[in-house]
Amino acid sequence: MAEPKPIRRLTENLINKIAAGEIIHRPASALKELLENSLDAGATSIRVTVKDGGMKLLQIQDNGCGIRKSDLPILAERFTTSKLSTFSDLSRITTYGFRGEALASMSHVAHLSVITKTKPDTCAWKAAYSDGTLVDAKTGEKADPRPCAGNDGTTITIEDLFYNTPTRLSALRSTSEEYSRILDVITKYAIHNPTVSFLCKKAGSPSPDLSTPSSSDTATTIRLLYGHSVAKELIHHNVSSSDKNVKRRGGTDMDMDVDDEGDEDKQEEHEDEGGDDNPESWKAETYFTNANYQAKKMVFLLFINHRLVESSRMKRAFEACYLSVLPKGSSPFVYLSLQIDPRSVDVNVHPTKREVHFLNEEEITEKVADGIQACLAKQNHSRTFEYQA
Ligand code: ADP
Ligand code: MG
C-alpha cells in the first residue's frame, strides 16, 4: 500500500488562481462581470473594445459613478465590495455583484488596469494590478495610483487574459468564436437595458459591430439587434401572479394585451419592485414571436430579477407552446424578464451557476407559457377569421 502523502496548505497565490479560474472561464465571462459592474455603477453609456476575441485586450469604458481614490488600494483584493455588508443584505440584494471577486480574479489571470474618476474628483486616477495588489504597469513593482486626465466614470482594461494559465488559454476556441460570444452577452444586456447605450467594436476598427442608443425601449432594441424579421412578428405580453384571467390553457375570459407598446407602464413597474410584501407574488414581461417567424434555433433570453440566467425547463416549456403553430424544426424568439421576490431565489449559488431554480418555478413557468399560448392562439384565430371574412 502506498504511503499517505502529507497534507499541505495551498499557497495564497495558488488558492487565488484556482478561484479565478472558476469565475473567469473565457473572455465573455470576464466581460459579463465588467458589464454588470458598469450597470451597478449606474452607467448610461458602456463602450467595449476587443482585440483577438478578448484574449489580447478587453476594455470597457463607462460613465458610471467611478471609484473613490481611497478605495483603489483594495479594489482588486478578493472579497472587497461596496455592495454588501451583512448577511441579511443578501436576501434583498439589487446589484449584480456582491462577492467582490471579479476584479480580483482578473488580476490573477490577466494584466488589469483601471482609470477612474468620480464626479467630485478634479482628475482621474490610473492604477494597475497584479495578483490583487497595486503595481506599476511597466515594472510590476508595488506602486500608488497616478493622477491622469479622464472623464467621469471608469475604464477597465484586461490584457493578455490567461497569459499565466496556458491550459486555460489553449482550451479557448478561435478568436472569432470568442468575439461572437462577447457580442452575444452585450446583445442580451442591451436588450434588457434599453435605456443604456452599448457599443462594441474591435480595436482599430472604425465602425462598431454593435451599437445602441440611450433611452430607447425594448421593442426598438430588439429590432436593432435581432433585425426586422423578428421585430415585425413580435408580441408583447405581461403576466403576473395577480392575473386572474390567465389561468388554464383554453380557459375563458382571456383579456390579453397583444400589442407592441405597453412601455408606458414600465416606469411604474420598476417603482413597484419590492413594494409587494407577498413572497409569492411575481410578474413577467415577455416579448415573443408569432407563428410567422421561424428560426432554426430557439433564441431565448431569460432575466430573473435583472440577472441573465438559464433555465432549460423554461426554455423547453416555451418552445412547446409553438408545437402546434410552427412547422417541425423551426423555433421562436422569446425574451422573458421575470421579477420575483428576492427572498424566493437564492443568488448565493456559485457565480458560474447560471442555471437557476426558485420558489414556485413550475407554477410561474406554466402561467407564462399559458400566456404565450393564449396570445398565439388568439392570433391564429383572428387570422382564420380574416380569411373567412
Ligand atoms: P462586486 O461587483 O461583487 O462588488 P467586483 O470585483 O466586480 O466585485 O468589484 C469590486 C468593487 O469595485 C465593486 O463593489 C465596486 O465598488 C467597484 N467597481 C468595479 N467596477 C466598477 C465600475 N465600473 N464603476 C464603479 N465601481 C466599480
Ligand atoms: Mg462585480
ipTM of the complex: 0.98
Q: What is the pTM of this model?
A: 0.87
Give Cβ neighbours of residue 91 (< 8 Å, ≥ 6 apart). 342, 343
Choose among 109, 120, 105, 94: nearest CA to 36. Answer: 94
Please provide the DSSP assignment of 203-244 as one string.
TT-SS-SEE--SS--HHHHHHHHH-HHHHTTEEEEEEETT-S
Which pLDDT score, from 0 to 100, does residue 291 have? 94
Contact between 315 and 300 under an 8 Å Cβ cutoff? The reply is yes
- Site of grid cell 407592441: 260
Closest CA to 303 of 286, 326, 280: 286
pLDDT at 348: 61
Give residues whose Cβ lies within 5 Å of ion ligand 2.
37, 97, 102
Identify the pLDDT of residue 269.
42
Contact 348, 90 (CB under 8 A): yes
Ligand 1 site-directed mutation target among 34, 37, 118, most atoms within 8 Å of CB: 37
Residue of minimum CA distance from atom 13 in ligand 1 = 81
Ligand 1 interacting residues, C-beta cut-off 6 A: 33, 37-38, 41, 62, 64-67, 75, 81-83, 97-104, 154
Say what the pLDDT of residue 84 is.
82
List C-alpha distances in Å: 62 to 59, 112, 231, 258.
10, 16, 28, 36
Residue 62 CA: nearest ligand 1 atom is: 23
Q: What does the block give as the cell for 206?
A: 472604425
Q: What is the pLDDT of residue 352?
A: 59
Which atom of ligand 1 is found nearest the CA of 105?
6
- pLDDT for res 160: 97
In this prediction, the residues of the chain whose per-residue pLDDT falls under 50 are: 246-275, 389
Question: Nearest ligand to the C-alpha of residue 82?
Answer: 1
Nearest to 217 by CA among 337, 135, 84, 339: 337
Output b/e per residue, 64-98; b: 16+ Cβ within 10 A.
bbbbebeebebbbbbebbbeeeeeeeeeeeebbbb
Complete DSSP assignment for 181-196: HHHHHHHHHHHH-TTS
Rounded distance between C-alpha atoms, residue 336 and residue 356, angstroms: 14
Distance from residue 29's CA to the centre of ligand 2 (Å): 11
Give the model's pLDDT for residue 196.
98
Among the bound ligands, the one closest to the CA of 41: 1
Contacts of 274 (CB under 8 A, 6+ apart): 92, 341, 342
Contact 287/268 with Cβ under 8 angstroms?
Answer: no
Atom 14 of ligand 1, nearest CA residue: 81
Nearest alpha carbon, ligand 1 atom 20: 37
The pLDDT score that the predictor gives to residue 257 is 41
Mean pLDDT of the chain: 87
Please report the pLDDT score of residue 185 as a whole number: 96
pLDDT of residue 1: 80
In degrees and rounded to multiples of 5, residue 159 shows phi and psi of: -120, 150
